[in-house]
A and B are shown apart, each in its own frame.
Chain A
Amino acid sequence: MSISSQLNRELGQLTIIVAGRFDYSLHRDFRACYENISVEGLQLILDLSAADYMDSSALGMMLLLKEHTEKSQAMGLIIRKPSPAILKILEVANFDKLLKIES
């Protein structure tokens, strides 16, 4: 389980990368990735290519990130490369209707 973020002002992107299990234990670190920087005009990307499992609190964290994207006038939010297992969880919760998912 780990979480990291990369800010690229030139490309206008903030990428949050979650690896391993995406669950409640990442809560604080996850919020810290975006809360203390100005994301206005930035494209937010949640890269899940290295995450292998996710629980419902991770769904909750995604909703928080979505809310932050809207409130802080970021350009938008993309969920990138979820594994088949994670994509299935997103689909069961019908989050694919709520979030932009890029395979």
Chain B
Amino acid sequence: MLEHDIASFLNRAVKGTALVADPTRISRLLLGKILGDIGYKVIFAENGKEAVTLFKQQHIDIVFMDVFMPEVAGYQAAAQIKQISGRQFTPILFVTAETDVDSLVKCIACGGDDILFKPVHQAVLKAKVLGFERTRAIYNEISRLHSQRQEEEELAERVFSSAVSNSLCADKELLISLNSASTFSGDVVFAEYRPNGDINFLLGDFTGHGLRAAIGAMPVADIFRGMTRKGYSADAILQQINKRLFRLLPTGMFMAGILVEASLQQQSLRVWNGGMPELLIFNNQLGDIRDRALSESLPLGIQVDLEFELKQLKWLKGDHVLLLSDGVTEAVNQHQQMFGQQRLEHAIKNKRDHASFIASIQEQLHSFCQNAPQLDDISMVELPDLLSRPSALEENSNANITVQKGCWTWQLSLDADSLKTLMPIPLLMTSLQELSVNHVDRNILFTVVSELYNNAYEHGVLKLDSSLKNSAEGFENYYHQRKLRADQLELGWVKISISYDGKVNRDFTIVVEDSGAGFDQLKLSQQAKPQQYSGRGLLLVESLCESLDILENGSVLKVVYRCQY
């Protein structure tokens, strides 16, 4: 550094308030004079106690402290002042005639920032003060950036939460516990009703945690909610989420997940598990875990094309379904032991007087981990025993009656290629919504049309025999066959026609025709009574509608549904 640079560095003015704590009057005067000359407003303390009191009372930028003082010694006073100033940076410089190494080290150890030796040289003092100004500027900048980052993170968290946060469905039907390792959780839970009142829910776990992991959650939320509400099947929803995540996320980031389609009407659960711990079904009557669904697929967002095969499980009375993220079994205590599957299942089987399985697991986790830091997001979803709940199918009637008086007809014809690629039911549901049909009627219509369409497509066009579905293995086989035959389909068609007449009774007339040969009604009528028609589907339709007519030997079905709302 050139000489004039040094001179101009030392000539820079200092502003602020300095506190000088020294028991000797002459030392105070001397230091006060130098500090005053270089621009400080100076205040004095005669001992450590007074120094601390003054520091509490007013804003002080720098402290000069003698080591040996009555009442409270310099070391203690320095420690107390550092504690008071907290995240504010206030330099403390010890001023001493000591040269004993131990006491010098102690100056810094108790919170002091530097040491000045008596007699104090003016230029050295000023240089040190300017040096600390530089440090303070850096300190302030860091603390400004830190609070800015925190503010932004909180804002992002609010936006994120409102986009991802749980729906009415989740509040009413599910128990959810999300415990994240940082501000943002990499675990997400979505739940939504299907148009027929069934429930779809998804527990997802993104790679890593924090903001990085949360980014993918927003599009997943949109796709999951939107498509579920329109009545798309779980496979179609997964397909769409997978495609979007594949496009959006960089290699190395993906979402493991479990999606469950819980049908109250069919008393069934359809489950997809891609890279998550097994889904557990605990049954009250059995007092044990009754069934599990292991991960059978890759997580979402890794490959463009994924086949989604959902596992069909029975949903029995007394069943509680549990979905957990790997943060549960992998939670680590202070001895680096993992919580593990055994402790988890113990907690489930010993639920006793806990309000829920989640509560029981949480308590076990808590007593196992004590205060060990949480490394990963810990999430749990519990589907309680809804089948034993009274009037599970009722409710949902915030009467929003808009009586439609006109007449209209909605028609759709699908050929073989369209049958393979198009899903007509969501299209219809959207139309009914636009035509402001009350949502309860819409739910019933969804069930009716879905059953009629599936009947026409599966039995009429694909010629599948529904007696296959009589056993659990048969169920799997049935869906396997359905896929095989759909892939090979070359000929066939289905026509759907829905007419509404709002003039007298507000009736819907639904006609579904297919290219099949119909079914042998004589053979069917000889079957056991509950298996009338071609399966439970049509029985359900009949119970929901005013009338059901089987025409053309079963290749044309016509029903009339009368609006209730």
Contacts and interface: CB of A to CB of B under 8 A. Distances in A.
Contacts of A56: 205, 207-208, 256, 326
Contacts of B254: 59-60, 63
A98 interface: yes
Interface string B370-381: 000000100000
A55 B376 contact: yes
Contacts of A95: 298
B509 interface: no
Given A94-B295, A97-B298, A57 B277 contact: no
A32 interface: no
Contact of B252 (A61, A91, A92, A94): A61
A14 to B, nearest CB: 19
A75 interface: no
B297 interface: yes
A64 B298 contact: no
Given A93-B298, A94-B297, A98-B302, A60 B207 contact: yes
Interface residues of A, number: 17
B253 A60 contact: yes
A34 interface: no
A60 B207 CA distance: 7
B296 interface: yes
B276 A60 contact: no
B208 A63 contact: no
Contacts of B253: 60
B195 interface: no
A93 B252 contact: no
B276 A63 contact: no
B533 to A, nearest CB: 40
A76 B298 CA distance: 21
Interface in B330-366: 330
Contact of A93 (B251, B299, B303, B376): B299
A63 B296 contact: no
A64 B252 contact: yes
Contact of A63 (B252, B297, B326): B252
Nearest to A31: B252
B275 interface: yes
B518 interface: no
B74 interface: no
B274 interface: yes
A63 B301 CA distance: 11
A93 B275 contact: yes
Given A61-B252, A67-B251, A92 B276 contact: yes
Nearest to B254: A60
Contacts of A98: 298, 302-303
B70 to A, nearest CB: 51
Contacts of B207: 56-57, 59-60
Nearest to B253: A60
Nearest to B277: A92
A3 B296 CA distance: 31
Interface in A55-99: 55-57, 59-61, 63-64, 67, 91-95, 97-98
B208 A92 contact: no
Interface in B261-302: 274-277, 294-299, 302
A59 B299 CA distance: 11
A60 B326 CA distance: 16
A103 to B, nearest CB: 20
Nearest to B294: A92
B208 A93 contact: no
Nearest to B208: A57
A94 B275 contact: yes
Nearest to B249: A60
B93 to A, nearest CB: 39
Contact of A94 (B205, B277, B296, B330): B296
Contacts of B302: 63, 98
Contacts of A57: 207-208, 252
Contacts of A67: 251
Q: Which 9 A-B pairs have the closest CB atoms?
A: A60-B252, A93-B275, A64-B252, A60-B207, A57-B208, A67-B251, A94-B298, A92-B295, A56-B207
9 contacts: A56-B207, A57-B207, A60-B207, A63-B252, A64-B252, A92-B294, A93-B256, A94-B299, A98-B303
Given A56-B256, A60-B251, A92-B294, 10 more contacts: A55-B376, A56-B207, A59-B207, A60-B252, A61-B252, A63-B302, A92-B276, A93-B299, A94-B295, A98-B302
